Amino acid sequence: AAQEAAVRAQAEAVRRLKQDKADPDEIAKEVAKLLQMKAQLGGDEGKPKFVLKTPKGTRDYGPKQMAIRERVFGAIVSCFKRHGAEVIDTPVFELKETLTGKYGEDSKLIYDLKDQGGELLSLRYDLTVPFARYLAMNKITNIKRYHIAKVYRRDNPAMTRGRYREFYQCDFDIAGQFDPMIPDAECLKIVHEILSDLQLGDFVIKVNDRRILDGMFAVCGVPDSKFRTICSSVDKLDKVPWEEVRSEMVGEKGLSPEAADRIGEYVQLHGGLDLIERLLQDPKLSQNKLAKEGLGDMKLLFEYLTLFGITGKISFDLSLARGLDYYTGVIFEAVLLQQENEHVEELVGVGSVAGGGRYDGLVGMFDPKGRKVPCVGVSIGIERIFSILEQRLEASEEKIRTTETQVLVASAQKKLLEERLKLISELWDAGIKAEMLYKKSPKLLNQLQYCEDTGIPLVAIVGEQELKDGVIKLRIVATREEVNIRRESLVEEIRMRTSQP
């Protein structure tokens, strides 16, 4: 409306210049300005141009994308169910105060709802905080659940790499007081199963422990008050080189260069049981209570992972920090390694596809009496996996079906709409997936073409002679073979011919 007013003012200015018989050049200049303004408004009527798009950082899923998405969800859900998880759902928004103070530096990325009277609300930022709120609110001290839903972050989107402002998380968490590292090991087993199942190529799961990090910071001479902010710096090591992280620590965050260098030595370490054993003997770390606890549990974890037979893909990595504030113990992150067929010599990480860890204090933050419920969980970052599978499918030119229709009900002659409607109704009522064209007298060629285009394997053709004979002509699209089937046997015949082997 403001733009329209500006156009009107400009038109009035032009009119006045003409009336005043002003310099033709000046009139021409002002007319050009007017035309440009009108063009921006999208048309002579001055009707504002409507922007036809989805909000920044979001996208629609068309039928093909949905087919991929459902395939991925299928694999993930069946893994979660294999591990005996229940499922819950929570609202897409929470009271604003529920999210306050849970995400550290990332809080600025939370979407708030407009105050339209009533409660102040924010869109959920992850599924972990709503889960903790759910546990505290319902006084649940013991649950193994999954939750698949969209979360919202006002981050800079990078859509080709699968980074969106609205994106799915697939979370599996185990809450309850149990013996050390048994649920933690199961979470890693789950990541291993899902990434193997989806065949995304080689991957590695990095593991660390917040207690080892805190112990490391302590023995390196980081003051207590700087643990969290230095931890945030370490978290950047998967994206930027050590030199930059070091200068952030020393420059922006005021850490002594000596402390930073000591950290620098630790964070380049990664390995397996051998490294854990070595650090348990480390003269400084072994003196720190937290680090010793963390290392002891890490050793136990590796023993369990050995029994699961998955240590080949696990790397104990002292540079892994994870951004979120709420972790208290084991943390982990799964990274896809560059595909070999892309002919790159080094194995470069193409990004994290799963992450998680232990957060024993979060539920207590919601409980009126501060009662703690220890939790450990994993979140599968589905969007990056979608991008990879989408790109792969496009490259392969594999044709993907977007419906499950078993048969098209067609007719060879005109004026058989009623007979098609009767037959398709019979098929639907018998549970057969059937379609027909919504035309009174469609051409047979168009009906057959529709099957080719959409992958429908069978055509049930109604014809006058066949109706008299009590049969339906069944055409197999792939072979063009046609057989007459007695009407009462049609359902059985379609079932047989379209059953999955």
- DSSP reduced 3-state for 17: helix
Q: Give the closest residue to 266 by CA, choosing from 225, 334, 321.
A: 321
Least Cβ distance, residue 378 to its own copies (angstroms): 15
Least Cβ distance, residue 447 to its own copies (angstroms): 13
The response to whether 449 counts as a known ligand-binding position is no
Name the β-bridge partners of 118: none
Q: How many CB atoms lie within 10 A of CB 498?
A: 16
Q: Which is nearer to its own copies, 29 or 82 (CB)?
A: 82
Q: Residue 106 and residue 319: Cα distance in Å, rounded?
A: 20
Q: Residue 485 and residue 467: Cα distance in Å, rounded?
A: 11
The response to whether 127 counts as a known ligand-binding position is yes
CA–CA distances in Å: residue 448 to residues 117, 440, 444, 486: 57, 16, 6, 22
Q: Which is nearer to its own copies, 145 or 246 (CB)?
A: 145
Least Cβ distance, residue 186 to its own copies (angstroms): 8
Q: Residue 310 and residue 304: Cα distance in Å, rounded?
A: 9
The response to whether 128 counts as a known ligand-binding position is yes
Q: Which amino acid is at 152?
A: Y
Q: Residue 478 and residue 375: Cα distance in Å, rounded?
A: 53
Least Cβ distance, residue 59 to its own copies (angstroms): 7
Least Cβ distance, residue 318 to its own copies (angstroms): 26
The H or E element containing residue 352 is strand 349-358
Q: Which is nearer to its own copies, 176 or 349 (CB)?
A: 176
The response to whether 282 counts as a known ligand-binding position is no
Least Cβ distance, residue 78 to its own copies (angstroms): 8
Paired tokens of 137: 């609110």
The response to whether 322 counts as a known ligand-binding position is yes
Name the β-bridge partners of 6: none
Q: Are strands 203-209 and 330-337 parallel, antiparallel or unpaired?
A: antiparallel
Name the β-bridge partners of 484: 473
Paired tokens of 101: 């103070």
Q: Give the closest residue to 423 by CA, choosing from 415, 438, 434.
A: 434
Least Cβ distance, residue 67 to its own copies (angstroms): 8
Least Cβ distance, residue 3 to its own copies (angstroms): 13
Paired tokens of 350: 């193409």
The response to whether 327 counts as a known ligand-binding position is yes
Q: Which is nearer to its own copies, 140 or 337 (CB)?
A: 140
Our measurement of the distance from residue 273's CA atom to the centroid of its chain's CA atoms, rounded to an integer in Å, reads 32
Least Cβ distance, residue 167 to its own copies (angstroms): 10
Q: Residue 59 and residue 165: Cα distance in Å, rounded?
A: 9
The H or E element containing residue 195 is helix 182-197
The response to whether 403 counts as a known ligand-binding position is no
Least Cβ distance, residue 192 to its own copies (angstroms): 10
Q: Cα angle vertex 397, ends 396, 403, to 5°?
A: 120
Q: How many CB atoms lie within 10 A of CB 324?
A: 21
Tell me how long the chain is. 501
DSSP tag of 440:
S
Q: Which is nearer to its own copies, 240 or 421 (CB)?
A: 421
The response to whether 126 counts as a known ligand-binding position is yes
Q: Which is nearer to its own copies, 28 or 95 (CB)?
A: 95
Q: Which is nearer to its own copies, 136 or 459 (CB)?
A: 136
Q: Residue 311 and residue 208: Cα distance in Å, rounded?
A: 14
The response to whether 169 counts as a known ligand-binding position is yes
Q: Which is nearer to its own copies, 157 or 215 (CB)?
A: 157
Q: Residue 404 and residue 433: Cα distance in Å, rounded?
A: 7
Do the Cβ atoms of 347 and 338 come closer than 8 Å?
Answer: yes
Least Cβ distance, residue 388 to its own copies (angstroms): 19
Backbone angles phi, psi at 4, to 5 degrees: -60, -40
CA–CA distances in Å: residue 349 to residues 63, 238, 334: 30, 8, 10
Which parts are annotated binding residues for L-histidine? 126-128, 153, 169, 173, 322, 326-327
Which parts are annotated binding residues? 126-128, 153, 169, 173, 322, 326-327
